Structure 1
């Protein structure tokens, strides 16, 4: 059997990777924290472990985490206590979290292989577990793929239910989604036009009105309206547009792009992909994917970025969502079907965890997700 010791920091994910990989063998977990803020996070992690039927979890507080000599003495005392309490079990200290003096002091204290104790570090960049020791016989090894999207988000207390009926409807419109993407790729000017026309129906207010065209639509827009009519999302007679349902309106005004991204991630064979996850606080995650314990949160946009305030709203939302539910080991991506402005690109460069992808080309989206897959699996 084994004992796991986690050093608590703002980023809890590395602790999960080693614990879930060794879950059948664990008899107890110790969570080492450094005060009120980290005690809250330790209790969050404790609740997650309880949800996984790991019921023996104890919190231990360490003082003065930046004073190395003091922390080293506390670490030695904690090692002595744990090793005496569990004399026949192997001790695994995960030193990925905490300040450098805090982590180094505990790694030194628990680096006692002869006494069945080792210190380890989760290297997210190279996707491996590293032993913090001078013993050259202990080689780094590849992380086990143990985290699901539900596990990852549950850790950050994002509660959601999976709507399986939704995925059946998404599959039903897969061909239409890809046809719309091709139309908008050829005629990007049609994208803001179709959005504007459908928004005139009033669907955002929960009702639908007939949209009267003030002038004949241009050729590309006519082709798109005809396609939507043929697929029974709207009734189009050349002079008016009647949207059949609020749900159909939402699909036309951006839902198709969310679904295109979802299909691309699925085709790239990522471990798991989810669409339109909604939290209790009404925050919605457009597309969420995970591969090799790395989470990606995608915000899909078909808006015209020149609209007043559009940039700030989207950036702030995604940054907040990523910090709330992702942590350092997650990636946040804005995918835009409409070309972004230079100002937006500049702002995104100043967000450490944000990335911008500008395309509605299906093959480019697939390549993006395949690159993500290869990177997380250490192939790039």
Structure 2
């Protein structure tokens, strides 16, 4: 039986050996945006065989755009140099292709790292003024963001462009713009966070205007042979919030701009959300975006089992599956899933002694196929 999950997929000039992606996961381990030795370990481990594509955590376009003081960034030469060291390491010893997620926290910035409570910073802790489409706080006890004026809009767009250019110099194979999880571009899309009365607020066409402008500017400077996509929150899980119909309309416009994939998640723009967590709970949204916008999709959200992932891809719900905590739990997830599904997946050269075909005493079913 041929595995759909372990079949290759080509996006522009990039061919991935399988449909497994390690999700960007904020590590809160950077120093003024610069990667540290932790990132060598974290990303290096996944790059040996957790997936065909590993995406670096949301990497911020500016200091103001950070979630916390420990967030990764691509806003300085030092950031770029430190991240290049990590990605060069991953490419030297690993087999996975490398992507990066570029974003801006907007009104969800200026907080403690989650392990320290995740609450908004106090002035004595180094708090900074956050930005947003409207002066609406993320939740009770959160500061009012400053409503972005035309100068702010242009500056942040330019910061996204600069970060994408740095990502190319670092050597990334793919870029994902973060347009979900309640961060800045998602705030523009959601009527819960965006109550502007100008050309950037109101109807879904106006609310998507700024994220589309940012995406178009980034796509323009990113190499034509390299894929660029976006993560979205398909629904807000709050009455009056973003709907899947909004997301489909957004995806259709993104496709016109050269978007190569939509990474489908949901929620996190409003603390009142009621999310029905269950395995692969975002798959129906990814399927609808894929079908109605006619664009490749990734799907993230409590996908942990090989056969579950296989069914998602084989049935056409999504083109790729994205794992986060499952990869942390098992940094060789793709190896083990391939073995369960009777498929093959790349192993880094220095890890080949562990391949089942090299250990027929442990995997007797492999003896006949490797004789």
What band does the TM-score fall into relative to the shorter chain?
A: under 0.3
Q: Which has the higher contact order (CA 8 A, sep 6+)?
A: 2
Higher strand proportion (structure 1 or 2): 1
TM-score (norm 1): 0.27
- The structure whose Rg is larger is 1
TM-score (norm 2): 0.28
Higher helix proportion (structure 1 or 2): 1
